[in-house]
Amino acid sequence: MAKPMTKTQLVAALAEEMGEDKKTASAALDAVVAVITKEVSEGGAVTLPGVGKIYCRERPERMVRNPATGQQIKKEADKVVKMTIAKALKDSVNA
């Protein structure tokens, strides 16, 4: 498996794709991340065309098991961030 792309590498690739400098690409990336974070943290969802949908899901209170002791513990309700991958991306990976 290939190593994940770092933010520096992503900014460089984005700058090249946009035909802009790295500072502009970094600002654009930071703005997109800020918008996604704000929207999802408020309970909304963001769809990135061709990539997927990022959303927040609430998990109910439930019983979990401590693997070290085997003891049952009640875990409070919480929220988790999920992502559904777009069919176009799945198809391009499997092509």
- pLDDT tens for 4-53 read 999 999 999 999 999 999 999 999 999 999 999 999 999 999 999 999 99
Strands (E) located in the chain = 45-48, 52-59, 62-65, 72-75, 78-85
In the chain, what are the domain boundaries? 1-42, 45-95
> pLDDT tens across 39-60, in order?
999 999 999 999 999 999 999 9
pTM: 0.79
Q: Is the pLDDT of residue 1 over 80?
A: no
CATH homologous superfamily of domain 45-95? IHF-like DNA-binding proteins (4.10.520.10)
